[in-house]
């Protein structure tokens, strides 16, 4: 079964699952989706429509012939009926197919639609991933995600603002029930559903999962965090920040830029932090420890550009400079930053470190509105490539076998057109 037929089959299977929902007391309302795929493991996410048992069938056949069936997980109201199932003992660099099966006492089991993912290779070889962020429910459909799916990346980085809980403002209620409802609103988007079924995702939150520009002092932070974790699966129960590798060529350090930060209005200095002392020490140790050719810092907010937006790293310049100085002092080579949140695509470089910003998927572009002219002029002063008036995403191709090894970064707009590309060779 080729990929085009597979993607078409997912749509048909989704319609069949929707039809079956009308005849079953409990069914799968959202899914399938896979997260945090490694060379030997994966996390499968599904959501039932009511209390029920949920199993996962998985295997290497696109028809799931001879599939392995997991033990059941229980969908309950305590997790908004979401269920995460861990798959282990997988074969590296192998395509897997999977689906959920929901059952309820007195009803026949109901199968969901089929998803797929490919496990990470253990040997260095060429691969590709994509990233973007910023999805506001009122901007659906997120048609740009169909271009991501068509690109067939090995995985996708979702860099924050997975919902806009505080839009519209007159209906914003900072509560667990409200945050869950906003996540369900986003999951209604068919383009997002197709993308989640076609590739694994690594996700991080930003401010609109709780409220615009929130920091560690926000009283609703625990509720926003719980709802985010219910819909965007994170492997650790303790922290959102983490590291992961995809082949020996590339390792990523995914930062939590919200849970530990000081209020942006605090006076800048050594005591003002975005990462918190523990996460910052972890990042430094992880960067020094990494043996990967390319080291990618994943920040939900822009790091290097000196923007006027003090909610980004520009509002925390002392800590930002501390990290830049650390990278230079330790002679850490081939460090790249990927970010989102700005609602702009930007290629930026400072102190030998390249940063690429992408987005939005579905939100107001940076240069729209009354301040659009001034904002465009601000970007023009950088003298670098940018897109500030259209939806976009970024794609990174890693070529460890090239001479020299390099990564190629592309910026792709909402029509699927490559608007920019830059190659960064390993030094």
Quick one: pLDDT at residue 4? 56
* Cβ atoms of 411 and 389 closer than 8 Å: no
Domains and CATH numbers, the chain: 3-118 (2.60.40.380), 127-425 (3.60.21.70)
Q: Are strands 294-299 and 250-254 parallel, antiparallel or unpaired?
A: parallel
Distance, C-alpha 395 to centroid of its chain: 13
Distance, C-alpha 116 to centroid of its chain: 17
Residue 286, SS3?
A: helix
Tell me the H-state helices in 245-391: 277-289, 317-329, 372-380
Q: Output the tens digit of pLDDT for each of the chain's 427 residues.
A: 455 555 555 544 454 444 444 344 579 999 999 999 999 999 999 999 999 999 999 999 999 999 999 999 999 999 999 999 999 999 999 999 999 999 987 678 999 999 999 999 999 999 999 999 999 999 999 999 999 999 999 999 999 999 999 999 999 999 999 999 999 999 999 999 999 999 999 999 999 999 999 999 999 999 999 999 999 999 987 899 999 999 999 999 999 999 999 999 999 999 999 999 999 999 999 999 999 999 999 999 999 998 888 999 999 999 999 999 999 999 999 999 999 999 999 999 999 999 999 999 999 999 998 889 999 999 999 999 999 999 999 999 999 999 999 999 999 999 999 999 999 999 8
Note the pTM of the prediction, 2 decimals.
Answer: 0.93
Q: Where are the beta strands (DSSP E) in 225-357?
A: 242-245, 250-254, 294-299, 335-339, 345-350, 353-357
Distance (Å) of CA 71 to CA 24, 244, 302 = 21, 27, 42
* Cβ atoms of 303 and 297 closer than 8 Å: yes
Quick one: pLDDT at residue 26? 77
Token output for 353: 């470190």
Quick one: pLDDT at residue 8? 55
Residue 143, SS3?
A: coil
Torsions phi, psi for 110 (to 5 deg): -120, 125
Quick one: pLDDT at residue 108? 85
Distance (Å) of CA 383 to CA 347, 375, 380 = 10, 14, 6
């Amino acid at each position: 079964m080729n990929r085009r037929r597979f993607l078409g089959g997912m749509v048909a299977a989704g319609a069949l699952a929707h039809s079956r929902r009308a005849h079953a007391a409990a069914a799968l309302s959202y899914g399938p989706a896979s997260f945090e795929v490694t060379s030997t493991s994966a996390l499968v996410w599904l959501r039932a429509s009511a209390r029920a048992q949920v199993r996962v069938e998985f295997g290497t056949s696109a028809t799931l012939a001879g599939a392995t069936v997991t033990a059941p997980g229980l969908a309950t109201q305590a997790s908004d009926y979401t269920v995460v199932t861990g798959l282990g003992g997988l074969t590296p660099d192998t395509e897997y197919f999977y689906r959920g099966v929901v059952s309820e006492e007195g009803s026949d089991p109901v199968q969901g639609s089929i998803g797929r993912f490919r496990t990470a290779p253990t040997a260095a070889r060429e691969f590709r991933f994509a990233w973007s962020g910023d999805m506001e429910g009122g901007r659906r459909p997120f048609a740009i995600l169909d271009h991501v799916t068509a690109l067939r990346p090995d995985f996708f980085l979702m860099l924050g603002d997975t919902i806009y809980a505080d839009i519209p403002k007159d209906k914003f209620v900072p509560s667990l029930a409200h945050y869950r409802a906003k996540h369900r609103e986003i999951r209604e988007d068919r383009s997002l559903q197709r993308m989640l079924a076609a590739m694994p995702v690594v996700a991080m939150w930003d401010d609109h999962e709780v409220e615009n520009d929130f920091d560690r002092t926000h009283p609703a932070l625990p509720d926003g965090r719980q709802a985010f974790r219910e819909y965007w699966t994170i492997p650790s129960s303790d922290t959102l920040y983490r590291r992961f590798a995809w082949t020996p060529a590339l390792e990523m350090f995914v930062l939590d830029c919200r849970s530990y930060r000081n209020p942006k209005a605090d006076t800048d200095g050594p005591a003002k932090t975005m990462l918190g002392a523990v996460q910052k020490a972890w990042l430094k140790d992880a960067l020094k420890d990494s043996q990967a050719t390319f080291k990618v810092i994943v920040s939900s907010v822009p790091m290097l550009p000196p923007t006027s937006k003090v909610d980004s790293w520009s509002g925390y310049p002392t800590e930002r400079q501390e990290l830049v100085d650390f990278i230079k002092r330790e002679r850490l080579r081939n460090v790249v930053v990927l970010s989102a949140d700005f609602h702009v695509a930007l290629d930026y470089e400072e102190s030998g470190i390249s940063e690429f910003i992408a987005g939005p998927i579905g939100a107001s572009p940076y240069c729209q509105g009354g301040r659009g002219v001034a904002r465009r002029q601000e970007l023009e002063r950088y003298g670098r490539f940018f897109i500030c008036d259209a939806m976009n995403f970024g794609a990174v191709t890693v070529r460890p076998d090239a001479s020299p090894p390099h990564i190629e970064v592309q910026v792709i707009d909402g029509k699927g057109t490559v608007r920019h590309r830059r190659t960064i060779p390993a030094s």
